[in-house]
Amino acid sequence: MEKSKEPINVLSLFDGISCARFALETNGFHIENYYASEVDKYAIQIAQKNYPSTKQVGSVVGLDGSRFSGVDLLVGGSPCQDLSIAKKGRKGLDGERSGLFWEYVRVLNEVKPKYFILENVASMSKDARETITEVMGVEPIMIDAALVSAQRRRRLFWTNIPNIVLPKDRGIYLKDILQKTVDAKYITKMDFTKRIDYKIHTGNFDGKAVPLRATDYKGTHNVIRIGTLNSGGQGDRIYSPDGKSVTLSANGGGRGAKTGLYKIGDVVRRLTPVECERLQCLPDNYTEGLSDTQRYKTLGNGFNVEVVKHILSFTTNP
């Protein structure tokens, strides 16, 4: 695929809000045909708003790959719900959602594109990872979006694009992408029921006999947890904007569902949809037109654009 010269044809499975297309076009590729397989009506609405020329082809289930001749790139992030460590009793590749991986494989074998990219969560089981690796015929590369954005988002990528190395750390933190003013609806009025304070660089606690945990401090990919609300469930944990954001989620409960809670200035609040767009390296208001709930969901299901752009930068000319 030659940037800016030869037009390319793309088939995007589980396309969502077309983060892959945004990554391609902002990386200098000229797209002749972009076929999108998606079933979520809200994601399709945003994809078509931003890219009216996208050709929606429906569900991946039973999709006839022979329809798509001359596809240069097959890309997709098969659903992770049955693979993610966040789901109790996960069924892995036998699950209803994550089992759609096998549809990706079927379409890949039918289309035979020049390049392919498959993305999924890094927290999957060892058995699932080994199965996918065996079927895809390539070892995955793990890239944390924390290297190129303000969000910690560890994902595995299986691709035949050669010689990919990790991107350099750009040193972006949540405080760097925050909006200056936000609507009061994003702010929680509750006080901390617990408080964990420590010096970021040393890991020392301020008079608290609580050990520093690996999940609280990870060098430059730091997510800094400073407290909790109520019982401290996943959606009630509070973080500092001096670190990275937690991984955006399409689902989940609690006051910080989908974005996490952060102590910003004198208030504790969740992130706005625009801030979540920035975490995924999308333009402000890319998902405008949906309810906040659907904006969070579609963004949580999306690619981090800068990670995909980095992978695509290693493609070679035909």
Considering the chain, what percentage of its residues have pLDDT values greater than 90? 67
What is the rounded CA–CA span in Å between residue 81 and residue 92? 8
Three-state SS for 154?
Answer: strand
Quote the strand ranges of the chain, DSSP E. Answer: 8-13, 31-37, 55-56, 73-76, 115-121, 141-144, 154-159, 187-188, 194-195, 225-228, 237-239, 261-264, 267-270
Output phi, psi for 99, to 5 deg: -65, -10
What is the rounded CA–CA span in Å between residue 70 and residue 10? 9
Looking from the CA of 67 toward its CB, the CA atoms found within 13 Å total 15
State the pTM of this model: 0.86
**pLDDT tens digits, one per residue of 99-141:** 789 999 999 999 999 999 999 999 888 988 999 999 999 999 9
- Top-confidence range, 172-176, 216-220, 226-230: 172-176
Lowest-pLDDT choice from 19-28, 62-71, 273-282: 62-71
What is the rounded CA–CA span in Å between residue 122 and residue 143? 9
pLDDT of residue 50: 98
Tokens 């910690």 sit on residue: 152
Q: Which residues pair with 117 in a beta bridge?
A: 75, 159
Comparison of pLDDT for 229 and 25, the residue scoring more: 25
Residue ranges and CATH numbers for the domains of the chain are 8-168+294-312 (3.40.50.150), 180-271 (3.90.120)
